[in-house]
Amino acid sequence: MGEQKADAVLVVKSEKRLYLMREGEPFASFRVSFGSNPRGHKQEQGDGRTPEGRYILDYKNPGSAYYKSIHISYPNAKDRKEARKRGVDPGGDIMIHGQKNGYGRLSFLVQRFNWTNGCIALSDRDMDTVWKAVEPGTPIEIKP
């Protein structure tokens, strides 16, 4: 029996959890860290927030500055429109990723804190599991 593939990803910020979903049911769950200002939806570049809403995991980057990364399609059209109304840059480059390269052994400590600039971070071991389970085009929902 091979690795199970996710048909969706659910992130619940208040639980600090990422769930791999199949047919509406979670089959794996991981502790995650968020941006340094985790409450609320991302409003603009540099606010330290992680977006909330429905997006697509649109591509994978095995060679990022962090241990593997999967891009989240933030900002979407609604995010760009809201940012334009406020006259701000919505930011972008939001990823699911492991630890900063070379620091994976410290994830037991680092994952206790919200330390990213808005990304969703996992331990490197957990990132390996997510990497194998998720293909580009998988929907992600990020809830408060």
Condensed to tens digits (0 to 9), the pLDDT of residues 89-113 reads 999 999 999 987 666 566 665 666 7
Q: What is the pLDDT of residue 81?
A: 95
pLDDT band at 1 (very low <50, low <70, confident <90, very high): very low
Residue 37 lies in a domain: yes
User: What pLDDT was estimated at residue 116?
Assistant: 86
pLDDT of amino acid 46? 86
**CA separation, residue 111 to residues 62, 87, 104, 122 (Å):** 21, 34, 10, 7
On average, the pLDDT of the chain sits at: 91
In this structure, is residue 1 part of a structural domain? no
Residue 123 lies inside a defined structural domain of this protein: yes
Task: Answer yes or no: are the C-beta atoms of 80 and 87 closer than 8 Å.
Answer: no
3 in any annotated domain? no
Radius of gyration for the chain, computed over Cα atoms and rounded to the nearest angstrom? 14
Residue 2 within a domain: no
Enclosing domain of residue 108: 8-143
Mean pLDDT of 74-79: 95
What is the total count of domains within the chain? 1
Instruction: Check which CATH number belongs to the domain holding 78 and give it.
Output: 2.40.440.10
What the block records as the tokens of 5 is 């593939």
The 10s digit of each residue's pLDDT in 37-62 is 888 889 889 898 999 999 999 999 99
Residue 48 has a pLDDT of 87
The amino acid at 43 = Q
Judge whether 45 lies within some domain: yes
- Name the residue with higher pLDDT: 109 or 139: 139
pTM above 0.85?
yes
